[in-house]
A = this chain, B = another copy of it.
Amino acid sequence: MAGAADDVKLLGMWASPYVLRVRLALSIKGIRYEYAEEDLRHKSELLLRSNPVHNKVPVLIHGGKPVCESLVILQYIDEAFGGAGPALLPADPHERAVARFWAAFIEDTLVKAMNQASWSKTEGEKVEGNKQATAALRTLEGALRDVSMGKPFFGGDSAGYVDIVLGGLLAGVRAMEAMLGVKAFDPETMPLLAAWADNFGALDAVAAVMPDVGRLVELFVMMHAQIATQAATTN
């Protein structure tokens, strides 16, 4: 049963940073949509049919047509709903390229390092991941200084594409900070990113869709226990 031409539906999972990016974009643009929570152990027929290549959330279904992969979805939202809310990407081709460069950096370098820091089985791998994540954040601190030129967001006065790509990670970062008693965005060494995280998190459109940090901590504690059990039984 296909929806109406303008129907927007999001297949998601509450703790996914990739799904959060899409929710942030839809919220910032003020686009109404139906949200369907997926049980990733028992994926819906609609998810399997809509993303047959990866079988993964998020999937945005607009007028019956699916769009997959968070960065692809964000650009789709910007292009298909141009009239709604603020533009996510700048208009100038070079500024758009700079935004796409930093989105790719966050995806390929920062996320990879954060995952290694958080979910590796050995302490050595975690320490190395942590080192790389800190180096990536320092690079982003410099990028924020160069791109924003004194304005609060990568997008300037309002949150845009890069803010959303990075902002999707923010709930997980806050949960890790709470668990480990550390500050990922250290105000001493990364003052701009620390202020960015506070400013971004304080936006109404952002606060409205951020998952509960306490619930994320519970999930992460459970996942770490599973990894520890696996490591103990396979060594």
A80 within 8 Å of B (CB atoms): yes
- How many copies make up the complex? 2
Are the CB atoms of A67 and B97 closer together than 8 Å? yes
Give residues 65-82 of A contacting B (CB, 8 Å). Answer: 65, 67-69, 71-73, 75-76, 79-80
A: number of interface residues (CB 8 Å): 22
Are the CB atoms of A93 and B71 closer together than 8 Å? no
A119 within 8 Å of B (CB atoms): no
Of the candidates B76, B93, B139, the one whose C-beta lies within 8 Å of that of A97 is B76
Q: Which residues of A contact B (CB under 8 A)?
A: 53, 62, 65, 67-69, 71-73, 75-76, 79-80, 93-94, 96-97, 100-101, 104-105, 139
Residue from A68, A73, A75, A97 with most neighbouring chain B CB atoms (10 Å): A97
Residue from A53, A65, A73 with most neighbouring chain B CB atoms (10 Å): A53
Main secondary structure of the interface of A (DSSP, over half): helix
Could you tell me the distance between the alpha carbons of A139 and B51 in the complex, rounded to whole angstroms? 13
Are the CB atoms of A72 and B105 closer together than 8 Å? no
Set of chain B residues within 8 Å of A105, measured between Cβ atoms? 53
**8 cross-chain pairs, A with B, having the tightest CB-CB distances, nearest first:** A80-B93, A79-B93, A76-B97, A72-B100, A67-B97, A72-B101, A72-B97, A65-B94
Are the CB atoms of A76 and B96 closer together than 8 Å? yes
Could you tell me the distance between the alpha carbons of A207 and B154 in the complex, rounded to whole angstroms? 41
The distance from the CB of A62 to the nearest CB of chain B, in whole angstroms, is 8
